Structure 1
């Protein structure tokens, strides 16, 4: 049966809308039941523990209308912003606390193989359209529109992610906390009938990767793109490599030559590359879908490069940000202005070579608002970084510079790429976990330090996004004996 992946089907458009919007009766029933029992509380998980207390849940519930709505935000040239965050962007949809939004997110690497990831898909074709006469989404990055710095193109590629949104939440004000529940994720199937039932993603081992200056074999300082295949119908929980190729200089439709991968969305001319289909034979990559970019708008600058993450979230590249996870963000601007991008089919901690399996996905989110006045004495009081909660864990995100936009001054968006280190990110993650254990769990500093050494796992989130990340994970079950 066509699931919006067979253009020969006479009802292709209807089936595709149904697949992407996820507005069928079964899903609406799931959305209604999945959280109704929680009464506005967050993820409960082990021992019924949550960051959201019953009083916080009641206060958040009071902000919600009697009936929640479910919106659909497609990815088109009119609904995306490419390579940057901005507090000045108009909302693409405005919602009330408690509402759901299904949001389409496109990978900015789709043109690495347009036959598999763009062709026949109206939304992707709208976003990626670039001819010698017209570029549908001109700005790609936070740089100057006239490309006066490097001549790469509008926005200069200073920021690369296709972000859908923003979503404005009514009543959200600076000082509040926005709770974002990732209710569901679905891969975006290839619309090319030649690849019905399949989804594809790209992994670029690129010049910004940790490995790039440490290669063993020739030619050194090479960039290699690997295309992966995923089962769009969910019948297979692993990805397989299809082929790889070395990046060769590509000339974009405006005539600019890109010797390296220095500007997002450049169409790759496959007549200029050599495909190697004998790659990773028999290797099965576990699929763990997640969003690399989930962000509220930062307040410090009007145009912010989408690559370095920070207190506002952004390009955190933590594979745990998938279905069932809940994120908490400090609201910095009115409406919060939430955006989604950089969907991944799979990634390991560190994202070592520079990318994950960059693959288009559609997510369904619920947005809960916690007013600052209701946070006093809770674990979320004074929250100034993105915090993750899963069914079993709490995760603190540390960065080399927690608020690099403020800490590094006028040149922050360039200086951050020169100053990051794992040591700084580790120390920030340690400090955030210490604060959490002392303030939220009532431990003394000595108790917190001992527990961190014995029961907290520190991992390298990523070392490729300018502002490097270390995450600290603590199991909820550790506290099951002291909390009801």
Structure 2
């Protein structure tokens, strides 16, 4: 198997792409809170096609005067609150990939991610890790984005009355007190998708909140421009969707959210029938990254470890005993998030450690 990174996409590769598509977010191309094996495709593509798609944050209502335009307002009007379930994320798609079948992999090369607006929102939510310790209140912090310096600055903050329970809530901040001590703080901007994946092989709607083998709400800030994700196809066509766009997040996503901000995403989708992997696999310019999920963080850690063992043995030719040794001395495991019911652990290893020779093209 040869795992390719987006940096390997040359101008010749781009010219050989079958087609380029635009997928704008609208009532007709969005589904709110779920993946579904029966959702009608918003776009049909062939392997190698490039797609320019809009990913919209469901937190745009935290500062609608800064984070919404007329097209977003139409989505909010067109998808009633009662139809935003069982999860919370506003998803664009799905994209049907011709000839994709269960057992295949979708290689998604994320080429660029650009903020749609100059502002984003962080919610300290009731599902955050320190909700009880901070007085059981929810607080919204609005950040201003400076793309020239790739930094986010604290703009203002306010306490949200009650609990943020309806996806896409318009918080009516003009009626609240605005304050923050973050004015001088600068946070690195690293745009990425919190939620993206294929449709699970399940009946009915599957919540966008929990991550799994299909992808979903992985919340790994490394899934940004310059990275490649490999998603195991579950149903015919894959039915790939994107949403939950972020511009900054730390490992853990401790308050419950990142800096949530809409992104314009350019990506290339390639159908891979030459290898399989048990979970979403991430490749960055410097690392291979595996993911493990479970409600129990210890089990999530074990699942990530088993997938790292799979990567190093099956796909990089090491014996399992040697791979296990290398994992302990040469790989790093971390907590991806602890706020999505199903918790996440990621394990990363430098490509330079395991790519010392010619790639395995078998």
Does the TM-score normalized on the shorter chain lie above 0.5? yes
In 1, the alpha carbon distance for the partners of 2:87 and 2:61 equals 17
* Residue number among 278, 293, 312 corresponding to 1:399 in the alignment: 293
Displacement of 1:462 after TM fit?
A: 0.5
Runs of 4+ in structure 1 deviating by more than 6 angstroms, as ranges, are none
Distance 1:275 1:171, change over 3 A: same
Deviation of the 1:65 alpha carbon? 11
Q: Which residue of 2 aligns with 1:169?
A: 97
Residues in 1 aligned to 2:236 and 2:89: alpha-carbon distance in whole angstroms: 23
Deviation digits for residues 142-191 of structure 1, max 9, x if unmatched? Answer: xxxxxxxxxxx444x531101001111111111111100001111103xx
Normalized per residue, the structure richer in helix is 1
1:55-97 Cα distance to aligned partner (Å, 9 max, x none):
xxxxxx9xx9966211101111221101111111111110111
Name the counterpart of 1:127: 75
1:264 maps onto 2:163 in alignment: no
- How far does residue 424 in structure 1 lie from its aligned partner after superposition? 1.1
Say if 2:158 and 2:173, in contact at 8 Å, map to a contact too.
no
Kindly state the Cα deviation for residue 338 of structure 1 after the two structures are TM-superposed.
0.6
TM-score (norm 2): 0.93
Aligned length: 355
1:42 correspondence with 2:4: yes
Task: Say yes or no: does 1:469 pair with 2:344.
Answer: yes
CA deviation after TM superposition for structure 1 residue 388, in Å = 0.4
**2:22 counterpart residue number:** 72
**Aligned to 1:101, which of 51, 75, 87?**
51
* Structure 2 Cα separation of the partners of residues 321 and 267 of structure 1: 28
Q: Which runs of 5+ in 2 are unaligned?
A: none
Structure 1 vs Structure 2 CA RMSD: 2.1
Higher RCO (CA 8 Å, separation ≥ 6 residues): 2
In 1, Cα distance between equivalents of 2:345 and 2:49: 32
| 1:344 aligns to 2:263 (yes or no) | no
More strand by share: 2
* Cα distance in 2, alignment partners of residues 230 and 102 from structure 1: 22
Distance across 2 between alignment mates of 1:352 and 1:103:
28
Rg comparison, structure with higher value: 1
1:59-458 → structure 2 map (5 Å cutoff) = 68-118=18-68, 121-129=69-77, 136-138=78-80, 153-155=82-84, 157-189=85-117, 199-215=118-134, 220-231=135-146, 234-248=147-161, 259-276=162-179, 278-371=180-273, 375=274, 380-381=275-276, 383-400=277-294, 420-458=295-333
Is the contact made by 1:85 and 1:305 (CA closer than 8 Å) also made in structure 2? yes
Tell me, in whole angstroms, the C-alpha distance in 1 between the residues paired with 2:27 and 2:357.
52
Structure 1 gap segments, 5+ residues each = 1-39, 49-60, 130-135, 141-152, 190-198, 249-258, 401-419
